[in-house]
Structure 1
Amino acid sequence: MDSPLAVLKFLFFKTPFILKTALSHALGLSLTASKWDFRTALVVNIIREMLCNSPPTSISKQQQSTLRDPGIKGKMWVSKVTMPAPSEDALLDLLVNTIDALKHENESFSRPALVPVEAEWTGYRADVADNAPEPSISEAEKYDSMVKELASDITVLYFHGGSLYLMDPCTSRSAVAKYSKITGGRVLSVRYRLAPQNPFPSALLDAFISYLSLLYPLAGSLHKPVPASQIVFAGDSAGGNISVVLLQTLLQIHRAAPAGTTPTVLFHGKEVELPLPAGLALSSPSLDLTRSMPSTKTNALYDYLPPPSIALEKSPPCEIWPAKPPRAYLYCEGSTLCHPLVSPLSAESWAGAPPILVVSGEEMLADEGKAFAQKAARQGVTVVWEQYEAMPHCFALLLEGNAGGAMSFDTWADFVKMAVRNPEDIVTKADFITAKTLVRQPLDISKLIEIGDDVILERMKKSRQEIIEVAAAD
């Protein structure tokens, strides 16, 4: 949808559909009536109708419709910053070498440019009205005002969702401000480069620069150096992907370093260490871009995401897609879809990772989170996994006021606080939370999914080939 007017037109023409949905739910005739409240039924079905049954639009039109800045107002401090790109190529060289080291086969990619990375420092602004205007002060003054209201030393490095080609920090401000409020800390929300204009590994490089810029800010930066022990990577959906692949990048760099040493890299003229963060907090992470797992079909009832068959349909051509030269997938070359830094579900090892939280609904991407959490836990990583029965993708952000969403926010906040303050107290566990009653049902995290690693990789390769063949046929 391009604008509020377009949304209103859509809803007007879908009035019969909306009335049918409402009546079906009220009479208990829908398959989800026993699991959802009326608001959930209406929201999920309308979004599904918009995404799955609307005329296809160009990639550029889709992208631009999600980049409109709604402005800054109310209970949030936002300070916009730009983190300079290093003048030397050492960081880029290290990333390229890491990508090469993790290749399964002949996976191709283009070397990205080193560019400055924009971001938004965000914090909770108390004691103002919900529609209070943003103060007319400098970005530095906004940052200082934000810092004065912080209740903890937690720093969340946040990556927004949007399938790696949509959305922006400006469209995630409300959620990010809430993350700040419930942790008492600050959030750095990164404006990573979007596909298809900037394919893999551009977004990963931007994430890498943002992390090192937190650790080692240049003179004149608004913030002081932030210890890695106070930084938690976080992301929703595609942002979860970036969080996880940034972690896997760091883990591979550590694996490649001499035993007993901490790896280093030249960054803005100084040799600096590359520590691991305090933890990862993931909501509905997208970990398999081939969308090969069974839940893509089995959980469609509770989700609004388009099935792969629709996702692969050709959008009307525009100035940014098809790419020039053409490629099979928006985010990367088709051959690279199974690479561990593109689809981290294929990564062989998570050993040595900091504590990880994975929260998902009973959604189409659920199996990816299950397999990832299970594998990491089996390899000795502290993992907290939660799945909410009958809830859709990113339900906590989508369904404001939903009791399950509120519960998941509490879990998220508790985990982030513990990861920074007392990580040794985090206990590996898995819970399935029942719909409406919100009863926790403990599960064995080592037995979340009965699909072996080899089978998962074969499924991914098969789906990758299907994506390549569909693209070639267009």
Structure 2
Amino acid sequence: MFFKFLLSLWMDTLAYVLHLTPAADELSLKAASTIAFIRACSRGLRPGRLSIAQRDSLNTRKADEDYLTVRCKLPVSSKNNLAYVISQAFKSLGDGSETYEHQGCEDIYGDWVGPCKRSAVPVSLNSASEREQYNTLMSAVTRSTTILYFQGGQFWRRGRGGIKIQNKLAHKVGGRTFGLLYRLSPQNPFPAALIDCLTAYLCLLYPTSEHLHDPIDARDIYLAGDSAGGNLAVALLKLILEIRKLCQNGEATLWWNGEETIVPLPAGAAVLSPYLDMTRSFPSEGANLRFDIIPARGPPFANQDRCDTWPAKRPRHHVYANDDALLHPLVSPVTVRDWTGCPPVWICVGEECLADAGLFMAQKMASANVVVFVEQFSAMPHNFALLCESDSTAQAIQSWAEFICGVRDGSLGKPVVVKWSHQRSQLGRQPLSLEMWRGMSRETVLKQMKEEMVKWGPPSA
């Protein structure tokens, strides 16, 4: 297995040096080496036990020491019916055949991240109270813009690079971010993470005296995330739209902090490499595999060694949700029927396996008159903006921030759909057409997703 890892790393590096891959014109040697190493790890090493890998992923504090963060608990009043209202939305959006394990609403945890680094503040801050640290963080914030950020990690591990990207975004928009530490699967499968996301959003809107922050206007809140976190940001948007419809029709009433509450829409959402199709059924899964770092599609989590965490006691293929729920719009947002009323959205993908799902969803949003911006980066792998330093990474982060500032300042302009690539050693952009997805129906997507699941066979017991 280790020989396979070394061989993969050596072949990728050699292909770059000899210019035998299109990525050679898009990446520096340092960036290409980083991506080659990650690809070799994901494809050349045995996954091992999920429980051990999950535990290791939770130890991310050392990598984030240079960023000014305040980790805190957001207590939640028991006087809410969030889980019930989400169950009503789940039923309303599904076909009645989907199931999930009951998950309650719990206190949540997360990191407030500011626009400056820890090295720029006094060392004495390390021993200061949580509120003093938060006030110091807020002293560098110049705008009311607040980004609610959901990290990736395939729903079962803490993603890497989330604090760093939050710091960069906070710096560029002059605001702050709250990075939610949502509950992880398979111990807490769907809808636990989504409940946590909605809980965090409501806590930002309606804090209590136990919270560090003051109430934040929904017009100042932007949802953001990468990979699985991108899924959660998009699913949360649809969930909010559905809850609003149910409440307005009298089919449900949301109680929060003991009061009847209407959930306002956030200002917008911006996602990187969103994981929108749990079955990975789109053509780019095969066509873009050569550029990507993630393994080829197939039965998910089938190669994990057995442990007390996985496989689940009730057999299923995916750590995140029951098999009969993988096609549900709140689990795989590519199956959403209608995006009418959705606020502006920015979607960024590389030339990666998950690209087509993102482009398809963008087209469906645009057809519902949603203001949607799409940027694809040539030869870039999944989550490239979090993995390596490159011209593409710099441009993606700049575009990410410009979208948020554009929505905030009312200067967004007409939707832009572009593809970035290097032309004569400079990064340039050209129009990207979504027309090929216009004629693809939701029924066609559901059919190809079901066909993909058939190939998996029965789940491990």
Q: TM-score, normalised by structure 1?
A: 0.90
CA deviation profile, 1:108-159 (whole Å, cap 9, x unmatched): 1111022111111110225936997962211101110111110211000000
TM-superposed deviation, 1:16: 6.1
The one-letter amino acid paired with 2:38 is I
Distance 1:190 1:412 in 2: 19
Instruction: Quote the residue 1:61 is aligned against.
Output: 52
Equivalent residues in 2 for 1:343-382, closer than 5 Å: 343-382=332-371
Aligned counterparts of 1:313 and 1:73: Cα–Cα separation in 2: 32
Q: Residues 183-227 of structure 1: CA distance to partner in whole angstroms, max 9, x if unpaired?
A: 110101001000000000000000011000000001232111100
Q: Tell me which residue corresponds to 1:223.
A: 213
How far has the Cα of 1:13 moved from its partner?
Answer: 9.2
Distance 1:437 1:349, change over 3 A: same
Query: Which of the numbers 430, 433, 436 marks the counterpart of 2:420?
Result: 433
Check 1:134–1:458 CA distance in 2 against 1; reply closer, same or farther (3 A cut).
farther
Shift in alpha-carbon separation, 1:183–1:131, aligned structure 2, 3 A: same
Q: Name the Cα RMSD after superposition.
A: 2.6
Residue 173 of structure 1 aligns with an amino acid whose one-letter code is I
> Which residue identity lines up with residue 36 of structure 2 in the other structure?
N
Aligned counterpart for 1:395 among listed residues 370, 384, 391: 384
Moved more, 80-89 or 293-302: 80-89
Give the structure 2 partner of residue 313 of structure 1: 302
User: Kindly tell me: are residues 217 and 154 of structure 1, through their superposed partners in 2, closer, same or farther at Cα, counting changes over 3 Å?
Assistant: same
Gapped regions of structure 1 (runs ≥ 5): 1-8
Paired residues for 1:83-232 under 5 Å: 83-125=74-116, 128=119, 135-167=126-158, 172-232=162-222
- Runs (5+) with no aligned partner, structure 2: none
1:282–1:31 CA distance, 2 compared to 1 (3 A): closer
| Correspondence for 1:288 among 260, 273, 277 | 277
CA contact (8 A) 1:56 1:316 kept: yes
Q: Identify if the C-alpha distance between structure 1 residues 184 and 365 changes in structure 2 by more than 3 Å, giving closer, same or farther.
A: same
Q: Is the 8 A contact 1:263 1:273 kept in 2?
A: no
The separation in 2 between residues aligned to 1:28 and 1:295, in whole angstroms, is 23
What are the residue-to-residue correspondences of 1:391-430 with 2, within 5 Å? 391-400=380-389, 402-422=390-410, 425-430=412-417
User: In the alignment, is residue 247 of structure 1 matched against residue 237 of structure 2?
Assistant: yes
> Quick check: 341-350 or 37-46, which moved more?
37-46
Pair 1:31–1:150, CA change in 2 (3 A): closer
Moved over 4 A (4+): 12-20, 72-75, 129-134, 261-264, 445-450
Q: 1:194 to 1:202 in 2, by over 3 A?
A: same
CA distance in 2, matches of 1:416, 1:132: 32
Task: Give CA-to-partner distance per residue, 1:253-301, whole Å, 9 cap, x none.
Answer: 2233437x99862111122221000000100111001111111111001
Shift of the 127–274 alpha-carbon distance from structure 1 to 2, 3 Å rule, reads closer
User: Do the aligned partners of 1:295 and 1:367 also contact (CA within 8 Å) in 2?
Assistant: yes
Checking the alignment, whether the CA contact within 8 Å between 2:48 and 2:305 is kept in structure 1 is yes
Superposed displacement of residue 382, structure 1: 0.2
Asked if the contact 1:85/1:117 (under 8 Å) is kept, the reply is: yes
Post-superposition CA distance 1:313-370 (Å, at most 9, x none): 2311111111123333211111100000000100001110000000110100000110
What SS does the aligned partner of 1:165 have?
coil
User: Per the alignment, do residues 418 and 34 of structure 1 end up closer, same or farther by CA in structure 2, a change over 3 Å counting?
Assistant: closer
Contact 2:86-2:239 at 8 Å conserved across structures:
yes
Seq. identity, %: 32
2:448 equivalent in structure 1: 459
**Per-residue Cα deviation, 1:79-122 (whole angstroms, up to 9, x for no partner):** 12212233135211101110111113411111102211111111
Mapped partners of 1:329, 1:47: distance in 2: 22
Counterpart of 2:421 in structure 1: which amino acid? T
Q: Give the letter aligned to residue 114 of structure 1.
A: C
Q: Secondary structure at the match of 1:273?
A: coil
In the alignment, is the contact (CA less than 8 A) between 1:75 and 1:177 conserved in 2? no
- Partner-residue secondary structure (3-state), 2:399: helix
- Residues in 1 aligned to 2:85 and 2:306: alpha-carbon distance in whole angstroms: 35
Change (3 A) 1:306 1:132: farther
After superposition, the Cα gap between the structure-2 partners of 1:72 and 1:461, relative to the gap in structure 1 and judged at 3 Å, is closer
CA distance in 1: counterparts of 2:450 and 2:281, whole angstroms: 9
Q: For 1:117 and 1:127, how far apart are their aligned partners in 2?
A: 24
Q: Provide the C-alpha distance between the structure 2 equivalents of 1:341 and 1:127, rounded to a whole number of angstroms.
A: 37
1:26 corresponds in structure 2 to: 17
Q: Distance in 2 between matches of 1:319 and 1:103?
A: 31
2: distance between equivalents of 1:135 and 1:109?
Answer: 42
| Contact 2:148–2:201 (CA under 8 A) maintained in structure 1 | yes
Q: SS at 2:47's partner residue?
A: coil
CA–CA distance in structure 2, aligned partners of residues 29 and 443 of structure 1 = 25
The number of aligned residues is: 459
SS of the aligned residue for 1:135 comes to helix
Aligned counterparts of 2:432 and 2:16: Cα–Cα separation in 1: 31
Whether the aligned pair in 2 keeps the contact of 1:60 and 1:319 (CA below 8 Å) is: yes
- Point out the more displaced range, 329-338 or 248-257: 248-257
Q: Is the 8 A contact 1:285 1:365 kept in 2?
A: yes
Is the 2:149–2:224 Cα contact (8 Å) retained in structure 1?
Answer: yes
How far did residue 445 of structure 1 move? 4.2
What is the DSSP-based 3-state SS (H/G/I as helix, E as strand, rest coil) of the residue aligned with 2:254?
Answer: strand
> Hey, what does 1:4 align to over in structure 2?
none
Q: CA deviation at 1:447?
A: 4.6
Q: Secondary structure at 2:459's aligned position in 1?
A: helix
